[in-house]
Amino acid sequence: MIDISGVFHDVEPSWSVNSDRGCSTLVFVTDGIVNYFVEGKKIPLQKGELLYIPAELERSWSNAADTTHKKYTVVFLNEIHSPLFSDNHEELIRFRPRKAAYYEQRLTFLYVQWLSQRSFYKEMSQNILSEILILIAQEKEEWHTSPIKEKAVRKIQEYILYNYRRNITIEELAELAGVTSNYVTVLFKEVLGVTPIQYLHQTRINTAWNLLHNTGMSVREVSEYLGYCDQSYFNRMFKKWMGMAPTHIRV
């Protein structure tokens, strides 16, 4: 059983954390750079990077010089002796997830559950964290993906991240990757675990959550900003990915 101590969403924090150990820590950086220090070794984490620190290792963090950051952090104990990653319980795992948008979506949902403390929020939070840890273990086992496929999908992924506010077609993604329209979806899902269209919506909804949570934009304004002409469709997509209506973000 996983016992979660806390779920945090740091947005441009002005503080640092002194050395500690005893709980496992999962960190996912969504913007900027943050410096972690694990057993005295400096680890500069950048946007899109994930770090898993097992409970046995001493850790602390501080802002990088001349910049700040945004990140999700989950602090927890795994009470059942069942290592997912290797026989080495003290293995530090740092990598850039292929399914970064999905990780961010799940961590956002985890944070919302933990913050709202709705009925069964602890059980829901445990299940979400378990899913994330299994995804990490699964991705770690699949790091030997063909470099050619990886390069093509990274190119598509970057294109979506820079153009997610407009209507992106499968045809233009296929042309970008140099493959057929039928194969581009198969290729993308093989490497990232989701289709290009699912990834597009995940990116939009993650952005929507941040805009609704951190700005004064209305639901309609956010919907239009992200390229959803039909607000009711936006509402359905938001609830599908976040488990609640966008109007529930502001309580």
In whole angstroms, give the CA distance from residue 215 to residue 247. 14
Predicted local distance difference test score (pLDDT) of residue 149: 84
Q: Cα(60)–Cα(74) distance, rounded to whole angstroms?
A: 14
Residue extent(s) of CATH 2.60.120.280 domains in the chain: 2-141
Tens of pLDDT, residue by residue over 29-41, are 999 999 999 998 9
Q: HSE (CB half, 13 Å, CA atoms) of 13? A: 18
Q: Is the CA virtual torsion 12, 93, 205, 5 positive or negative? A: negative
In contact, 44 and 64? CB cutoff 8 Å: yes
Domain limits, CATH 1.10.10.60, in the chain: 147-241
This prediction has a pTM of 0.69
The pLDDT of residue 65 is: 85
Cβ neighbours around 165 below 10 Å, total: 14
Average pLDDT on 147-151 reads 82
Give me the pLDDT at residue 251, please.
Answer: 47
pLDDT of residue 27: 97
**What CATH number was assigned to the domain covering residues 2-141?**
2.60.120.280
Mean local confidence (pLDDT), 157-179: 93
Per residue in 208-236, pLDDT (tens digit) is 988 988 888 999 999 999 999 899 999 99
**Exposed, middle or buried: residue 182 (CB in 10 Å: 0-12, 13-18, 19+)?**
exposed
> Which tens digit of pLDDT belongs to each residue from 69-104?
999 999 998 754 444 554 445 678 898 887 888 899
Distance between CA 53 and CA 38 in Å, rounded? 8
Q: Residue type for 30, please?
A: T
CATH superfamily ID and name for 147-241: Homeodomain-like (1.10.10.60)
* CB burial string 36-66: b at 16+ within 10 A, e below: bbbeeeebebebbbbbbbbbebebebebeee
69-78 and 59-63 beta bridge pairing: unpaired
